[in-house]
């Protein structure tokens, strides 16, 4: 016999945390995307004045959480606006158990960073591209970092978990 309340519903979970901007300060008004995979829908929230975000009532599963500055945020920081905004894109992958809570900090500068820089060329010509660094043994989303080249030149600061990294140029 079925319960009048309907089928059993697993206890929902929560993903919350804070986002830092490229200068290491709380990123107020930043969109944060929480996406259940595969193809489970995307929820977006906006950080508060302290850079905090929260998504409640989440079903158990694997989530990709991402954020990147918008042109207005670059301008407010006194930085040149980046067309793609991907230079400071931050992503994490979270496996959320039923009823669990996971706290994240996105955009944190790496400890003892590794400076990676260079110039992309094709023959004698400079190439502009979006570059992605993915740590070894990773799913492609967790802790990936992005930068784009301008006139072929790129530079990024990576944490030590990127020492053995794969790079991929995305057109």
Q: DSSP of 130-167, one letter per residue?
A: EEEEEETT--SSTT-EEEE-BTTEEEEEE-GGGSSEEE
Q: What is the pLDDT along the chain (171 residues), one digit of tens a residue?
A: 444 554 455 588 999 999 988 778 899 999 999 999 887 789 999 999 999 999 999 999 999 999 887 777 777 766 665 555 566 677 888 999 999 999 999 987 666 777 788 898 988 899 888 887 777 655 555 566 777 788 888 887 776 666 544 344 333
């Amino acid at each position: 016999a079925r319960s009048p309340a309907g089928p059993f519903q697993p206890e929902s979970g929560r993903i919350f945390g804070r986002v830092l901007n490229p200068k290491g300060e709380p990123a107020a008004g930043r969109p944060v995307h929480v996406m259940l995979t595969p193809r489970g829908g995307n929820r977006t929230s906006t950080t508060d004045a302290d850079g905090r975000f929260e998504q409640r009532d989440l079903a158990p599963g694997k989530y990709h959480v991402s954020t990147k500055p918008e042109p207005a945020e670059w301008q407010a920081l006194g930085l040149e606006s980046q067309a793609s905004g991907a230079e400071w894109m931050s992503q994490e992958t979270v496996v959320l158990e039923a009823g669990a809570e996971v706290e994240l900090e996105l955009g944190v500068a790496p400890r003892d960073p590794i400076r990676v820089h260079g110039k992309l060329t094709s023959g004698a010509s400079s190439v502009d591209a979006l570059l992605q660094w993915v740590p070894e043994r990773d799913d492609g989303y967790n802790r990936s970092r992005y930068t784009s080249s301008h006139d072929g030149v790129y530079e990024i600061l990576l944490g030590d978990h990127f020492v053995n990294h794969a790079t991929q140029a995305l057109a």
